[in-house]
Chains A and B, each alone.
Chain A
C-alpha cells in the first residue's frame, strides 16, 4: 500500500527541524514513496514479474548562501540523523554562491486543485496477465512475427515537498502503462517495432488487442528495407519522434543553458525562430495529463506558458537559481517542462504527404546527435519512402542531418496532435535536410 501524506509529512518535518537545529538557515526536502508492479510476457508466456517498493528522500540545506544536498532511501531516524549531520558539515565548507536560495515566498503554490492524476484502482497481477495474453494473441496473428515481448506496469506514487519557509504539500499520482515489442522475419533478416501507451487512469488505456496489432503491423511493414542514395530531401517526422524537436527546444530555452551561454537560442528571445503559424505551449494544468503538476519541483506555482507565439520565442523555462542569474522570476519550471505541445497545424496528414512528389518519412531515430550549443543535428534513422502521397518502401541504415536553427524555420505541422506522452507534437515536415545513405 502506498503511504499516506501524514507519514511523509512527519519525515519531512523531522528533516527540517533537525537541519535547523544543526545550523541550517534554510532547508528544502522531498519525501517520496512509490510502489510499482510489473508483469512481462514473451511469446505468449509469463516471463517476469517484478514488484518494487521504494522510498526516497532528497534534502538540501542552506547556510546563508552556501548549499549542499543528500539523497537516501533509508527513512530510519538514525540514518537520517547521520546524513543530516553530514549534509550540514558539507554545507559549512561549500563556497558561497549568491544565487543559492529557496524560492521567493510569494511565488509558492497556495492551493492544490484536483488534476485527476491518481486512480486508486489496483489491477491484480492475474488481470495484468489476462491483458498481456490478449496483447500477445493480437501481436502473433501473422506468421512473419517470430517473437513478441510485452509488459504491463502499474505505478503508484505519493510525495511531500516541504521547505523551511512553511511550504508543505504533496499528492498522489498513478500510471498504468503497457507495451508490446514485435520482431518480424523474412528471408533471414529481422525487424523490430513496438507500441507503447501510458495513462493516469486504467480506463483510459488502449485496448490490449490494439496494442498488439499496432506493434505487429509496424514490425511487418519495416521488413525488407533499402538503403537509399545520399540526397537533400524533405523529411516527415512521425508523431513518435516529432516530439523530439520540442525536447530540443526545451533544452535550448532552459534558463540554465541561456545563462551559461550554451544554447543556440541565446539572445533569441522575442525573435522569430519558427514560421509565424507556430505556437508552442507548456501547460501543467491539463486534467489527467502525464506531465501535469500542481507546482514545480521547488513548490513554485506554475501555469500555462506560451513558449512560442506566432513563431516568436516568448519565454524561457525558469527555476529559482538560474532565474536569479538572469534577473528573471521563476515561472515554475524547475524540473523542466510539464505538458509541452505544438498547437495543431492546418494540413491533414494526407495533405502533408502530398505537398511534394517525394519525401522521406522517418519513424525511428537512433543515437544522440543533437548539439544544443551549435544546433547541429545528425542521427541514424529508418522509415519509409513517400512517393505521390503513398508510403512505397521501407528505408534503413541512413542518417539525417541539419541544423536546428534552419530546421525550426522550415517546419510545417499536420493537424493530428494526440496527447500520448508528456511532450506531444503532430506529424511534421522539415522542408530540406541531408540524408546520408549509399
Chain B
C-alpha cells in the first residue's frame, strides 16, 4: 500500500491512470514520489548550536521522448497539481512521438534494512554523545581550541510509478557522524576533520566507544598539521594512501565516464571506449551493491536494480555509467546509475561506490622508490572540468618524501592533473585496498548525492603539486 496518497484527494490507481495517459506517446518517464525525513544536531563551541528536523514530501513527474526531457515537480500531491504537471509535460512534448520502453529488471536483493536511524536513537542519547565528544577532545589539553561534532541522519522512502501500473519502491536509511577539531600551538592553528557513515543506524558506527576513534583521528590530523611546512610547488612523484584518497579516481575518471557527457561527446573520454586509458594493473569498478555502504542503492531513482559496473579492466576502458535516457540513446542498457538528489531534480547518470581494485605492491615499496615527492594520506574535496579533463583535489594530510623516506608534514595543497592521462602515470598499484569511511557527497549540476570511494595505495609518476615552495 502506498502512503503517498493517504492524505490526498487522489488514490494510487487514479495517479497510475494519469501516469499511463500522460506517457502514452513518450519513450520513457515516471512519477517519482518521495518522502524524506532528516535531522541535524550540531555541537559547536561547547554548546548544542542547533537541532533541526526536516520533513519533505513531493513528486517529480517526468516525460521523455527522444532526447527531450520534460519535468514538473511539486510538494502538493493532489489531483489538481498532478493534472497541471501532466498538461505541462504534454505541452512540452506536443510535437514528438515516442514508444514507451516498458522493460525494467526486477530484483529481490536488498543492500540495506528499512530502518529509520532518526527514531532509532533517542534525542537525549545523541545530545549526550555530542557532549562526550566535546569533553573527551577538550581533555586532551589546552591546545584544543575548538570542537564541532554533528549527527546527520535521514530516511527516504521512494515510490516510482511507471506507465501501465508498474510500481517500484525503496526505503533508504543514511547516517553520518562528523568531528572537527581546531588545535592551537605557538600562535598556529590547524584543523582536523574525520567522520563515518553509511546506510545503518548511528550506533552501528558509534557503539563500544568507537566514537573515540573518530575523535582521535581528527585530533591526530590536526596535530600533524601543526608541524606542517610550506608544500612544494611543481611536478613530482605522488604516493596516495588507501581509502578516501580515491576521490582522485572519482574526479579524474569517474565523472568523465558518466553516460550523459559521452553521449553528448563533451567528455574527454568520449572517443576512448575499448582503448588503453590506464596502466595495465589498473581495474576500476562502480558498485552500487555493497552492503550498507553510503553510495549503495537497491534500485536507482528510475527503479533499475543497481549492479557492479566494470569501468576499466586492466587499463582498458570497458563501460560508461548509464541511466535509462542515455543508455537508450547510446543503444545500451542502464547500469542502475540513474540518480537524483530529490523529487525536485531530474535524473542524471551518477557514481555509486567507485573503486580501484588491489594490485600486488606494498606501500613501503612505493615510498622507498621515490627520491623526491609527496605522500598524501587524507583529502578534502575535489573538482573536475569534464571537457578538458583537468581535475584537482586538496590534501589535508600529506608528507614530503625524500630519498625513499617519509619526511615532515606539509601544508594543505591542491594537486592538479589530467584525467585521461593520469592513470597511465600510475606505476604501482598497492595490495591494501580500503573503503572510505562513508562521508562522500558528490555534486553535479547542482545536485548532491551520497557516494563512496575505495582504492589501494598507488604510486603516480608525475603530478603537479600546488604548494608555495619552489
Contact = CB atoms under 8 A, between A and B. Distances in A.
A306 B217 CA distance: 41
B358 interface: no
B411 A73 contact: no
Given A190-B266, A382-B390, A434-B467, A52 B344 contact: yes
Most chain B C-beta atoms within 10 Å of own C-beta, residue among A75, A191, A366, A400: A366
A276 interface: no
Given A76-B7, A436-B233, A97 B71 contact: no
Contacts of A73: 55-58, 75
A83 B91 CA distance: 37
Contacts of A75: 75
Interface string A377-411: 01110100000000000001111111100000000
A367 B290 CA distance: 29
B85 interface: yes
Interface stretch (A88-96, A131-139, A164-172, A345-353): A88-96
A359 B76 CA distance: 55
B441 interface: no
B359 interface: no
B75 A74 contact: yes
B327 interface: no
Interface string B53-82: 111111000000001111111111000010
Contacts of A42: 67, 264
Nearest to A219: B387
B392 A379 contact: yes
A145 to B, nearest CB: 12
Contact of B412 (A70, A378, A438): A378
A192 interface: yes
Contact of B55 (A53, A72, A149): A72
Given A52-B344, A54-B344, A366-B392, A373 B189 contact: yes
A310 interface: no
Nearest to B225: A374
A335 interface: no
Interface string A231-275: 110000000000000000000000000011110000000000000
A50 B447 CA distance: 15
A42 B66 CA distance: 13
B382 A367 contact: yes
B264 A369 contact: no
B464 to A, nearest CB: 5
B381 interface: yes
Contact of B414 (A49, A68, A191, A379): A379
A371 interface: yes
Given A396-B388, A398-B464, A366 B344 contact: no
A86 interface: yes
A46 B89 CA distance: 13
Contacts of B306: none
A383 to B, nearest CB: 12
A97 B92 CA distance: 53
Interface string B135-155: 000000000011000000000
A397 B51 contact: no
A426 B72 CA distance: 39
B467 A46 contact: no
B392 A402 contact: no
Classify chain B's interface size.
35 or more
A87 B53 contact: yes
B191 interface: yes
Given A52-B73, A230-B470, A262-B146, A97 B48 contact: yes
Given A79-B55, A373-B191, A47 B68 contact: yes
Nearest to A97: B47
B412 A368 contact: no
A32 to B, nearest CB: 11
B383 A368 contact: yes
Contact of B231 (A78, A188, A378): A378
A76 B58 CA distance: 13
A127 interface: no
B55 A401 contact: no
Contact of B383 (A95, A189, A259, A366): A366
Contacts of A94: 48, 51, 127
Nearest to B417: A397
Nearest to A222: B388
B15 interface: no
Contacts of B382: 367
B92 A49 contact: yes
Contact of B68 (A46, A52, A231, A436): A46
B45 interface: yes
A191 B412 contact: no
Nearest to B271: A188
B414 A93 contact: no
Given A78-B7, A147-B266, A380 B48 contact: no
Nearest to A38: B71
B438 to A, nearest CB: 21
A399 B344 CA distance: 36
A71 interface: yes
A71 B131 CA distance: 25
Contact of B392 (A83, A259, A399): A399
Contacts of A67: 50-51
Interface string B388-424: 1011111000000000000000011111111000000
B418 A376 contact: no
Nearest to B50: A69
Contacts of B50: 67, 69
Contact of B54 (A70, A190, A438): A70
A95 B74 CA distance: 36
A106 interface: no
A311 B47 CA distance: 35
A53 B73 contact: yes
A435 interface: yes
B268 interface: yes
B464 A366 contact: no
B124 interface: yes
A50 B446 CA distance: 14
Given A49-B70, A398-B416, A438-B234, A54 B467 contact: no
A399 B416 contact: yes
Nearest to B89: A49
B470 A373 contact: no
Contacts of A402: 468
Contacts of B188: 374
Q: Which 3 A-B pairs have the closest CB atoms?
A: A399-B466, A380-B392, A436-B233
29 contacts: A46-B68, A48-B68, A50-B346, A52-B74, A53-B72, A53-B73, A67-B50, A69-B51, A69-B53, A70-B55, A74-B56, A75-B75, A76-B7, A90-B123, A94-B51, A95-B48, A260-B146, A261-B145, A325-B45, A369-B392, A371-B191, A378-B394, A397-B390, A397-B464, A401-B468, A434-B468, A436-B234, A437-B464, A438-B235
Interface of A: 42, 45-55, 67-76, 78-79, 83, 86-87, 90, 93-95, 97, 99, 125, 146-147, 149, 183, 188-192, 225, 227, 230-232, 259-262, 325, 366-369, 371, 373-374, 376, 378-380, 382, 396-403, 434-438
Given A73-B75, A369-B412, 12 more contacts: A48-B69, A50-B70, A54-B74, A68-B51, A68-B52, A70-B54, A125-B91, A366-B383, A367-B416, A369-B413, A371-B412, A379-B466
